[in-house]
Structure 1
Amino acid sequence: MEGRFPPSNPWAPLTAEELEARKVVNVNAETVTNTAATDIPGHWGPEQDDSWNLGRFRDNLRIDFHQNKPHDAAFSLVGVDASIANAFRRILIAEIPTLAIEEVFMFNNTSIIQDEVLAHRLGLIPLTGGEKGLKWLRSFRKPPPKDDFAAQAAHNDDGEPSTASDFNTVVLGLKVECRWATEALDGRDGKKLAKEGETDPNVRYVNSNVYARDFKFMPQGQQETQFAGEDAIKPVNPDILIAKLRPGQKIELQCHCIKGVGMDHAKFSPVATASYRLLPQINITSPILGAEAKKFARCFPKGVIGLEPSDESDPNSEPKAVVKDPMKDTVSRECLRHDEFKGKVKLGRVRDHFIFSVESTGQLRSDELFLDSVRLLKAKAERFKKHLSELEEGR
């Protein structure tokens, strides 16, 4: 069958080459083959042991970090099934609790932005604070919608909804008023008096722009010790523009921030993006030399294919194409369009090598987010195992 790699003898264990071939998804000129998983027990015959084994899994599992910045991490997760990798991705996006603005109490808004639009903009501003305090803060249990009777029944079984307290709610205040710069007495507001005929609003007015830095953290109860000093709750980026004002316009409001999850609203998602791709594989089956080697290198992104002397003893010999860094490849299949490379190269992707990219919104570190996703998946598995045990006991 096309795309399968049957062993030379169905009754004998697979060779190293056959085992390696099973791990590759073949990328052809117009098709993709060998996409189905073949590690199902009995797929290759009774003599081939494909049952899941903890020791084998432990030996094959590997995590290699390629980049580990606070807001941007890239790493390879090797030796797991696609379902596990996708579970981590979905948990990263939708199930790790984070702090965000949930309720906005408008006291005065004379700007041109409507209250509901302004509240929506505020909710999407990512917040940050002390890591210890954010972990101390509890999640907020919101009541279900009144028209969702099934959710209400489930909610009643789980417990009562939360009430606002210093353990689950953070308060931020915003009070900004725009004035003419000439009204600033002796530059008391840090603005020089505007000259007559000045047209630049940043010079002509005071507080013409409302930024995220204008938020004031209002600690409640024990929050004064949990979020003291540099650990205070604040926007990740202080330069986020919230609104533009003109003289006489003002915004005065108060925000209540709670911990929620991304499945409820995107503002609670801790990542700007969390994605993965399979490691590209480029296998040069026949030597590609001279001008063809240079053309072959141009078929790939820069850095994927390198040129080396075809004769190691003679540095001046004609160049030979070698695979330098397959991780940079985008698998465009450009080289398969040219007749001179047919039969000389095979493209594929390694099915159990996932290259993850996790970009944090700033509240939590990217590497810590992945560890949180592992903890959550482990807790889900333990809860599922507990339910299975309860079902068996109830029989």
Structure 2
Amino acid sequence: MVFNSEMAMETEDRRPKVTMEEYKIKENPNDYGFSDETFDREKFKKNLQIIPVKRVDYELEFDIIGLTPAIANAFRRVMISEVPTMAIEKVHIYNNTSIIQDEVLAHRIGLIPLKADPRLFEYKLDEKDEEGNELDTLEYRLDIKCSWKNKDVKDPRNIDAMYKNHNVYTEHIKWVPRGKQGTLFNESQVGPCDDKILISKMRPGHELNLKLLAIKGIGKDHAKFSPVSLASYKLLPEIKLLKQITGKDAYTLQKCFSPGVIEIDKGGCAYVKDARYDNCSRNVYRHPEIAKFVELTRIRNHFVFNVESLGAYKPEDIFVEAVKILKKKCVELLKELDFDGK
């Protein structure tokens, strides 16, 4: 058992690392970085690991081990700007007597995320055809008017009792099926991702009468087509305590890191509970008497990804689509180079 433990520690120490000092990043003297490594496809396939960590609602956390920063960043950029979604592109305003200007209203509506699966639609290729067709366009209507509900309410703060339809939410947007769309989808599959997104506030006499047209697009063209509210990564943190830290110093150390990173046992001794959620603040260097016993490093080929979907895709599907898109780009590049990738 001792032999196995020592072997595990030796293997762990071989991982490529960078050290986080107070004012700079220090490279490992035995590690020459990615620029010194030649690419070996078989070695890459052997070392590559994708490990799901946490999935909550539309949020996904997963690890990718064995990548270079360039490829990790390519995945991030593709997830943000090249995985397509459906979004409202055209807003036909027939009547708008609210206090929001037409341009601002159209912009707000365009940013509403839609549930519609873009993989089931085509790109709209003919820019002159504003109306589109059932294969590339979804149509919605927003017809709502604010009116008095009870003029005798004495408390002016009780607006729910006074007015009807004084708040315009995304639940008021109604889908208008085109062609065979009504047999393929239902409103819950193509409507807004959240029914309670506030579009506008109105008062009696205010009215909205709009036709909305949604098309397929990518975040590179406009941020409203991006499928994520968050797609980020960081290097896996590693924290080592070089000496037993107890008493007041243990509590000081705990406050230097994010909650859950450093804990204190029943004997009052600090220990590293979960280093992966360290936010790299380096606050520990404010306390020289403690900092000299703490070693902060990052594993430079271990990436912690966080992806938060807006609702059109499951978060894991966003990553899969990004991989497909990046693969397609590589294939096209090889064709351009007239090179046999086998």
Query: What TM-score, normalized to structure 1?
Result: 0.76
Q: Offset of 1:276 from its aligned partner?
A: 0.9
**What amino acid maps onto 2:338 in structure 1?**
S
Say yes or no: does 1:247 pair with 2:204: yes
Q: Offset of 1:347 from its aligned partner?
A: 1.0
Q: Measure the CA separation in 1 of the matches of 2:286 and 2:252.
A: 12
Q: Offset of 1:247 from its aligned partner?
A: 2.1
Say yes or no: does 1:27 pair with 2:20: yes
Counterparts of 1:120-159 in structure 2, within 5 Å, are 120-129=107-116, 131=117, 134-141=118-125, 143=127
| Contact 1:72 1:360 (8 Å CA) reproduced | yes
More deviation in 68-77 or 328-337?
A: 328-337
Say yes or no: does 1:179 pair with 2:166: no
Q: Measure the CA separation in 2 of the matches of 1:161 and 1:215.
A: 23
**What amino acid maps onto 1:237 in structure 2?**
D
Q: Tell me the equivalent position of 1:208.
A: 166
Q: How big is each residue's C-alpha offset from its partner over 1:268-319, in whole Å with a ceiling of 9 and x where there is no partner?
A: 111111111111111223443555444433332232223458xxxxxxxx55
Say yes or no: does 1:375 pair with 2:333: no
| Contact 2:153 2:161 (8 Å CA) reproduced | no
Q: Measure the CA separation in 2 of the matches of 1:340 and 1:196.
A: 66
Q: Tell me the equivalent position of 2:3.
A: none
| Contact 2:131 2:213 (8 Å CA) reproduced | no
Query: How large is the Cα RMSD of the aligned pairs?
Result: 2.8
Say yes or no: does 1:82 pair with 2:69: yes
**Helix, strand or coil at the partner of 1:256:** strand
Q: Tell me the equivalent position of 1:170.
A: 138
Q: Offset of 1:209 from its aligned partner?
A: 1.8
**Helix, strand or coil at the partner of 1:259:** strand
Q: Measure the CA separation in 2 of the matches of 1:376 and 1:76.
A: 20
The equivalent position to 2:283 in structure 1, one of 319, 334, 346, is 334
Structure 2 stretches lacking a partner, 5+ long: 1-8
The equivalent position to 1:344 in structure 2, one of 256, 268, 293, is 293
**Helix, strand or coil at the partner of 1:127:** coil
The equivalent position to 1:299 in structure 2, one of 239, 256, 273, is 256
Q: Offset of 1:74 from its aligned partner?
A: 1.1
Aligned length: 330
Q: Measure the CA separation in 2 of the matches of 1:326 and 1:123.
A: 40
Say yes or no: does 1:58 pair with 2:45: yes
**What amino acid maps onto 1:96 in structure 2?**
V
Counterparts of 1:91-106 in structure 2, within 5 Å, are 91-106=78-93
Q: Measure the CA separation in 2 of the matches of 1:198 and 1:324.
A: 53
Q: Measure the CA separation in 2 of the matches of 1:19 and 1:73.
A: 26
Q: Measure the CA separation in 1 of the matches of 2:187 and 2:139.
A: 16
Q: Measure the CA separation in 2 of the matches of 1:268 and 1:216.
A: 20
More deviation in 359-368 or 67-76?
A: 67-76
**Helix, strand or coil at the partner of 2:214:** strand
**Helix, strand or coil at the partner of 2:338:** helix
**What amino acid maps onto 1:376 in structure 2?**
I
Q: Tell me the equivalent position of 1:225.
A: 183
Q: Tell me the equivalent position of 2:6.
A: none
The equivalent position to 2:307 in structure 1, one of 334, 355, 358, is 358
- How has the CA–CA distance of structure 1 residues 204 and 292 changed in structure 2, closer, same or farther, with 3 Å as cutoff? closer
**Helix, strand or coil at the partner of 2:106:** helix
Q: Measure the CA separation in 1 of the matches of 2:303 and 2:49.
A: 11
| Contact 1:140 1:162 (8 Å CA) reproduced | no
| Contact 2:15 2:299 (8 Å CA) reproduced | no
More deviation in 196-205 or 255-264?
A: 196-205
- How has the CA–CA distance of structure 1 residues 38 and 224 changed in structure 2, closer, same or farther, with 3 Å as cutoff? same
Q: Measure the CA separation in 1 of the matches of 2:193 and 2:305.
A: 23
Q: Offset of 1:180 from its aligned partner?
A: 2.0
Q: Offset of 1:17 from its aligned partner?
A: 5.7
**What amino acid maps onto 2:51 in structure 1?**
D
- How has the CA–CA distance of structure 1 residues 163 and 210 changed in structure 2, closer, same or farther, with 3 Å as cutoff? closer
| Contact 1:77 1:354 (8 Å CA) reproduced | yes
**Helix, strand or coil at the partner of 1:171:** strand
| Contact 1:170 1:220 (8 Å CA) reproduced | yes
**What amino acid maps onto 2:242 in structure 1?**
T
Structure 1 stretches lacking a partner, 5+ long: 1-15, 44-49, 144-159, 182-192, 310-317
- How has the CA–CA distance of structure 1 residues 142 and 97 changed in structure 2, closer, same or farther, with 3 Å as cutoff? farther
Q: Tell me the equivalent position of 1:107.
A: 94
Q: How big is each residue's C-alpha offset from its partner over 1:244-272, in whole Å with a ceiling of 9 and x where there is no partner?
A: 22222211110110010101111111111
**What amino acid maps onto 1:117 in structure 2?**
V
**Helix, strand or coil at the partner of 2:100:** coil
Overall identity of the aligned pairs, in %: 37
- How has the CA–CA distance of structure 1 residues 22 and 140 changed in structure 2, closer, same or farther, with 3 Å as cutoff? same
**What amino acid maps onto 2:33 in structure 1?**
T
Q: Measure the CA separation in 1 of the matches of 2:97 and 2:293.
A: 69
Larger radius of gyration: 1
